[in-house]
């Protein structure tokens, strides 16, 4: 029985933060050594950071990455460690992993399948490594093998699948298994999306079973570079059995997950598999062989635990709360801002943004303690000081209710109630005089009074826009981040005032639809995340019909009257944008899904959506950065590219109108 202690690490890195990244990797190595780990897999591109974007094309970035690796080599004595970094070879750049054995580099493996869809643009910077190709390079006056390698480290064979390599049908792991791999390392930078963790678990478990290996999967952690969030969730499996599962959404700098591997067990399991066909043609000289001594260890039978919230009824609600909270914390500290400012309207969107900051404090202080939480924000506390969560929220969050003549006591009370419930500082600005001064100025200039009958949109928008300068000023005074509060449903149709509610340096809820956001607020009001209290004061928000509150009270304005029911809007958006369906197929699918509405209504809403989506692409180009949460993102910089100027689906909508006319004619 040959037992080996292995580990995978989730690390919260920052692109181009050479000193910080090195320090955190050094801390991981030190803990792994203390845990008597022999094999350690670190995340993809963990030295440079995964999100360097076009900076990858700088020779200085490549050079500094290898300098950091050289500096870390002495800290790997007695261990086998995989480091991810960019690698320049024959005038091409590769996304690579360098295997270090007992303080010395042993070889370099480059990624074969590049992530080039969704939020990933790896082919812009990197080249895919060709199958079954090997070469040599020089590093620290040493000749290193490069390419499609299997390493023999002290009699144990170690190979690589780098992130996307494991997501494709022709996984490199199959060939590695035929060549006798005992362990496959997967250094990844796999971004968070709702429900994605179960997919990762499946390919790790199935890889370990089908390939007859132990499989080590490492991932990044936190908001690395601004938009993408990494949830951690490292995995170790062996022979189809999950041995260890790391925590997700941690506020710590890193998480180390360990397990004891039984190498002989996976070897014999593969030997007993009748369908296994080993590749016996591999030249012995092509396998790097390295001396390594594995210490004697005792067998340990581990049973990975899954937090109850990951198996409950409200997994998506929990994931949203934890993912965005961590993303906002990292954005706050990495942008070196002092806190947040929210223009709190008393409605669902701004209330959700404010509550997420409260959850951020609760999650973070519960895990790493109040002192460490503040220390990472650049706010060191005196010895013995332990501020409460409410005190921390008040020091980080300012909420401002800005009333015009069309604002109601209902929304004012809701804003104040939510702000007080979460412990935020609460201010009120009266901006009606500013509204009237602009109306008067423009009315005088154009030589006529402005009326709701003729100037509805302009009179609505000026109220939203005059709210921006005051909160911007407040954010500037305090060195804080102003949060924009538009959601994805409104983003899709441009139901937001540019330089009004879109103002801000960060848009934390722009990646989520309004229907889910309302459901999430109701859950937060009555239940809340596991281990935290609910916020019952949100009832003042959830019992209202969503309204921009920009028309006079007698208009009884609601968002859904202006647009369409939010569930219908979200269904159209998914079909049209995510699934790339044309207007007529969208309409036909809606008729089956929403039989409670007439075909005329559904056709009207489909046409409205497509027209508004095309007309408002310029707005989406200007929105503040948002977080990627699923494959329905509308961010044109990372996911959903669409021309600012287009034909506007004129032919497609004419086809829809003709089809509906035929339906109604036939039914009359």
State the DSSP string of 51-116. T-GGGGG-HHHHHHHHHHHHHHGGGGTTSEEEEEEEEEETTEEEEEEEEEETTEEEEEEE-SS---
Confidence (pLDDT) at 566: 92
Q: Using CA atoms, how far apart are residues 655 and 349, in angstroms rounded to an integer?
A: 36
Structure tokens given for 457: 């949109």
- Residue pair 626/511 in contact (Cβ under 8 Å)? The answer is yes
- Of 463, 474, 467, 499, the residue nearest 341 (C-alpha): 474
- Terminal alpha carbon distance of the chain: 80
Structure tokens given for 485: 């509060």
Q: Using CA atoms, how far apart are residues 574 and 594, in angstroms rounded to an integer?
A: 15
Largest Cα–Cα separation, the chain: 92
- For 154-197, the three-class secondary structure string (H helix, E strand, C coil) is CCEEEEECCHHHHCCCCCHHHHHHHCCCCEEEEECCCCCCCCHH
Q: Using CA atoms, how far apart are residues 340 and 354, in angstroms rounded to an integer?
A: 9
Confidence (pLDDT) at 270: 87
CATH superfamily of this structure's domain 307-552: HUPs (3.40.50.620)
The torsion angle over the Cα atoms of residues 25, 26, 30 and 35, rounded to 10 degrees, is 10
Q: Using CA atoms, how far apart are residues 441 and 431, in angstroms rounded to an integer?
A: 16
Q: Using CA atoms, how far apart are residues 288 and 151, in angstroms rounded to an integer?
A: 5
Structure tokens given for 618: 């310029």
Name every residue whose Cβ is closer than 8 Å to that of residue 206 and which is 6 or more positions away in sequence: 240
Any idea what the Cα angle at residue 527 is, between residues 363 and 482, rounded to 5°? 50
DSSP, collapsed to helix, strand or coil, labels residue 260 as strand
Q: Per this entry, what is the length of the chain?
A: 668
Buried b (16+ CB within 10 A) or exposed e, 78-116: ebbbbbbbbbebeeebbbbbbbbbbeebbbbbbbbbbbe
Confidence (pLDDT) at 292: 96
Structure tokens given for 416: 């104040």
Helix, strand and coil percent figures for the chain, each rounded to 5: 45, 20, 40
Q: Using CA atoms, how far apart are residues 138 and 372, in angstroms rounded to an integer?
A: 42
Q: Is 275 exposed, middle or buried (0-12, 13-18, 19+ CB in 10 A)?
A: exposed
Structure tokens given for 97: 């992993």
Half-sphere exposure of 288 (CA within 13 A, CB side): 27
Q: Around Cβ 562, how many Cβ atoms within 10 Å?
A: 15
Beta strands in 311-357 (DSSP E): 340-343
Confidence (pLDDT) at 284: 54
Q: Using CA atoms, how far apart are residues 627 and 458, in angstroms rounded to an integer?
A: 31
Average confidence (pLDDT) per 10 residues, the chain, 668 residues: 95 98 98 98 98 96 98 98 97 98 97 93 96 93 94 97 95 94 97 95 96 97 96 97 97 98 92 85 76 91 88 96 98 97 95 98 97 94 85 97 92 96 97 96 96 92 94 97 94 90 94 94 97 95 80 76 91 95 97 96 96 95 94 88 94 95 79
DSSP, collapsed to helix, strand or coil, labels residue 205 as helix
Fold exhibited by the domain 3-305: Nitrilase/N-carbamoyl-D-aminoacid amidohydrolase (3.60.110)
- Residue pair 586/575 in contact (Cβ under 8 Å)? The answer is yes
* 564-668 CATH pick, 1.10.10, 2.170.140, 1.10.3470, 2.60.120: 1.10.10
Name every residue whose Cβ is closer than 8 Å to that of residue 284 and which is 6 or more positions away in sequence: none
Helix residue ranges, H only, 530-649 = 539-542, 559-562, 566-573, 583-593, 599-615, 617-622
Q: Around Cβ 404, how many Cβ atoms within 10 Å?
A: 19
Confidence (pLDDT) at 100: 98
Structure tokens given for 406: 């069309």
Q: Using CA atoms, how far apart are residues 197 and 319, in angstroms rounded to an integer?
A: 11
- Residue pair 573/632 in contact (Cβ under 8 Å)? The answer is yes
Any idea what the Cα angle at residue 476 is, between residues 620 and 617, rounded to 5°? 5
Per domain, the residue ranges of the chain are 3-305, 307-552, 564-668
Q: Is 641 exposed, middle or buried (0-12, 13-18, 19+ CB in 10 A)?
A: exposed
Structure tokens given for 166: 């494991």
Q: Using CA atoms, how far apart are residues 375 and 383, in angstroms rounded to an integer?
A: 12
């Amino acid at each position: 029985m040959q037992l080996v202690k292995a580990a995978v690490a989730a690390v919260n890195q920052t692109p181009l933060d050479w000193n910080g990244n090195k320090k955190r990797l050094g801390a991981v190595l030190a803990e792994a050594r203390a845990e008597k780990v022999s094999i350690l897999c670190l995340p993809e591109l963990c030295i440079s950071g995964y999100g360097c974007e076009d900076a990858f094309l700088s020779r200085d970035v490549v050079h500094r990455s290898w300098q950091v690796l050289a500096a870390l080599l002495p800290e790997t004595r007695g261990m086998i460690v995989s480091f991810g970094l960019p690698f320049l070879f024959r005038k091409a750049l590769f996304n690579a992993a360098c295997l270090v054995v007992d303080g010395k580099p042993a070889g370099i493996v480059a990624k074969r399948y590049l992530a080039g869809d969704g939020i990933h643009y790896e082919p812009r910077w990197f080249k895919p490594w060709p199958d079954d190709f090997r070469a040599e390079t020089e590093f620290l006056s040493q000749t290193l093998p490069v390419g499609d390698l299997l390493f023999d480290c002290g009699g144990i064979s170690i190979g690589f699948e780098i992130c996307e390599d494991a997501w494709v049908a022709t996984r490199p792991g199959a060939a590695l298994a035929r060549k006798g791999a005992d362990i496959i390392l997967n250094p990844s930078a796999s971004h968070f999306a709702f429900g994605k963790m179960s997919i990762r678990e499946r390919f790790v478990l199935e890889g370990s079973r089908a390939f007859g290996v132990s499989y080590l999967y490492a991932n990044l952690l936190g908001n690395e570079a601004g938009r993408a969030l990494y949830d951690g969730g490292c995995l170790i499996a062996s022979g189809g059995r999950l041995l260890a599962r790391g925590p997700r959404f941690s506020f710590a700098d890193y998480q180390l997950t360990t397990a004891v591997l039984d190498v002989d067990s996976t070897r014999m399991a593969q030997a007993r598999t009748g369908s296994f066909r080993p590749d016996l043609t591999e030249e012995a000289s092509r396998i790097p062989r390295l001396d390594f001594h594995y210490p004697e260890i005792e067998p340990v039978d581990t049973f990975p635990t899954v937090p109850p919230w990951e198996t409950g009824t409200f997994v998506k609600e929990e994931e949203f709360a934890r993912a965005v909270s961590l993303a906002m914390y990292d954005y706050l500290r990495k942008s070196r801002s002092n806190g947040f400012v929210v223009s709190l309207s008393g409605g669902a969107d701004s209330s959700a943004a404010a509550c997420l900051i409260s959850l951020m404090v609760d999650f973070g202080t519960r895990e790493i303690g109040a002192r460490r939480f503040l220390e990472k924000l650049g706010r060191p506390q005196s010895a013995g000081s332990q501020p409460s969560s409410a005190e921390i929220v008040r020091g980080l969050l300012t909420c401002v209710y800005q009333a015009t003549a069309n604002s109601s006591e209902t929304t004012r009370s809701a804003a104040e109630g939510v702000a007080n419930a979460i412990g935020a500082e609460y201010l009120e600005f009266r901006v009606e005089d500013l509204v009237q001064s602009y109306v008067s100025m423009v009315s005088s200039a154009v030589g006529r009074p402005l009326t709701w009958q003729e100037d509805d949109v302009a009179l609505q928008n000026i109220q939203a826009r005059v709210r921006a300068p005051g909160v911007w000023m407040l954010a500037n005074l305090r060195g804080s981040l102003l949060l924009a509060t538009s959601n994805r449903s409104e983003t899709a149709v441009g139901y937001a005032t540019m330089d009004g509610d879109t103002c801000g340096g960060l848009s934390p809820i722009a990646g989520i639809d309004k229907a889910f956001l309302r459901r999430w607020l109701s859950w937060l009001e009555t239940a809340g995340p596991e281990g935290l209290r609910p916020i019952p004061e949100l009832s003042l928000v959830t019992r209202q019909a969503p309204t921009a509150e920009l028309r006079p009270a007698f208009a009884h304005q609601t968002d859904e009257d202006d647009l369409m029911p939010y569930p219908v809007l979200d269904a159209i958006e998914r079909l049209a944008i995510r699934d790339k369906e044309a207007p007529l197929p969208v309409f036909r699918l809606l008729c089956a899904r929403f039989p409670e509405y007439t075909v005329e209504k559904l056709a009207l809403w489909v046409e409205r959506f497509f027209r508004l989506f095309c007309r408002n692409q310029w707005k989406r180009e200007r929105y503040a950065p948002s977080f990627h949460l699923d494959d329905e993102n509308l961010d044109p910089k990372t996911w959903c590219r669409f021309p600012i100027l287009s034909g506007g689906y004129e032919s497609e909508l004419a086809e829809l109108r003709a089809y509906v006319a035929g339906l109604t004619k036939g039914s009359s």
